[in-house]
Structure 1
């Protein structure tokens, strides 16, 4: 810069450019440039770079790179690999640098440009993200639903074991309940849980469950271009923000409900933030979003996948590769199935006959031991080998009751023990456990005694056992006192 000033000053005082070049020991072209520009203009290319050795091969390179679009990004051509193939397969005699420069320039020209968007109030975007969590002591992958309101940047998150269709719908149901309103529209990608098929004219054929959900809440669904996540850039960014800020370090919770309660609290706390470029908090801008949104319907949507099945000879119904038990009385009958994110409900006709926690493993069996007790009572020799009872963790008093019953009546005692277990068809485990402990304390080891005691506990009345039913119990005989004996005491005589 100092040389620029000196040359320009000398020429301004009457020195010619030729004299200035000689005086400052620089070229006349440099002097001319210094007189044309007050500061160094930097390097300026006025004509495209000529690559005579590469020009005949650019079509080949373009073909390879276009073909890379159809393969995994980690197996696409690098500049080094393109150079090697040109040299080995096509006799290219140029250097690696011109190949690398051409590929860099080609990539720059192909980069997409974007238009800044304005988001009116009342509209939303939705997506799923993934993160590693520890639930109940087990490390696993969580799929978390995110709904974003771009106008206010308010959000809602909820985590699930899998990103199924029912998880998509359940996430919306909880999000709408969280905000207390229904958005005017929601923008999605083309997830197969939502879109069954994209028709040739670009319209979407919606999945069955999602279509019913849209009909219930009556809002517009919009979709981005396939493979273009930037079409819903707000929620895409929120997925990353949530993972970095709410799930670092790795979240550890006792249950999914506890984890989701934590995520919901983070969403509420975030509403107090003022984001870059804004003068209002998220909560203040959320008020405009809510004013533009619709009211909730009278009842929430039943977010479940519906299917039908048939009960097998082992009292099992298959749903999503897993088998769930039903009472043996419904064997070989047609049933309906409702798959919720956390439960599987099975019914026959208008009656619910079984309810199980949802299993996300594959080819597993989910038993309720109570379902098999009527069959085991008839086939008592299967008691110790019944798979549904193998992992049944009963209180130790039940084992004591069985031992005493078998010691007294052997096989009949085992059958009576199963009858005691069948009381779980009517009563809960806590009440039956208390009745068994009381029966053991009283020495009343029998089905009738336990049934009587559990009924008294449920009905909140004191137990009164009829000991005539239990002739093997020790009995105490108390003589009846005559009323005349009391009369003699009153008169002073001794009876």
Structure 2
């Protein structure tokens, strides 16, 4: 069996260089049948399960004169027209009376001219439509009143200045390929050429001659979607400067103030709405909107394959004496599975599926992504707001507080008076010396929302917080102040 780089090279000889099957077979010293198998292979998904032998199916090739030839460049080669088929269609549909030889000569001439036009475009170092640059950037999001690090996979098109973004929790291989697939689906097609950094999710190593040794999964993905992957020189991010700038633009304009993260789907949908609105602005140099330029660029994208690529990694594990397997530095319990049993793993970007040796599914677990989180210094933030109480309406940190605390701090029940806001910020800062935000929110729901704000409100809050922290204890006759209570 040929290695994946050999298989991909055969596909490139067919797709890019336009070699025939016989030429490929002679050049690579392989059989015609083997050359045919990899040159016209469409489905590069990993085989999983018992092998099922399929009979080869011959599908028609489609091509058309001029317009047809241009459209054919967006389709897989085995779905393109041959000169013979063009002649048949011209004869049957348009009453063409010329000879087969005339059509063949014209088709050959037009193909050569189109190849020269493409070569000239790349020689001028311009960005023809349909080419993209891709990179990751890191943003902070708020989850449960804490900051969490998240990744944005950004694809930008230098020709139109359009950008597409998909959020993922990590920069690993599964997240990278799944993010690319989702970006292609949002674009409605596949860029013909994509520029990347030498990211570890795609590149194993950079050889001495500058060649990249890519991961098998990335090679399969490239072959399935038929795009040409180009890698920048090490430490030369300026070679894909458009997406570098777009990463900064998206971080500054789309993620400020800090987004509140509820779940993956909601965050992705919000970013899609933002990027669609952003395309309505004028291009910085061309005098028309980005959306208009994007409509010009869309026909140059490659067609999406009929069958989406299933992004996964196959792995294996052994069940330990506790009936658990270890993966991603976490333990997963498999009830009913014997210790020392070998199991198969299908690792997706967001889940792990476990199978026995007969390919029967045993269990499914979410991947143990925890995210890099850090606590917000809430007491310092609140003390700063106390000095300028009118600024609470504009503070991005107030947006990150639990809803009941937001309402309490904004003091709209008291007309938003600055003195009242200042007083409440002081109380909240004092409570935070001993209690967590979730405990304070729970106490406010009981005391402030239930009974309103009275003179004894602060004392009742201290009693309520003590009860939440110590549910089994009897309240003392004289409750200590917040500063006298044990720290959280």
Q: Which has the larger radius of gyration?
A: 1
Q: TM-score, normalised by structure 2?
A: 0.49
Q: TM-score, normalised by structure 1?
A: 0.48
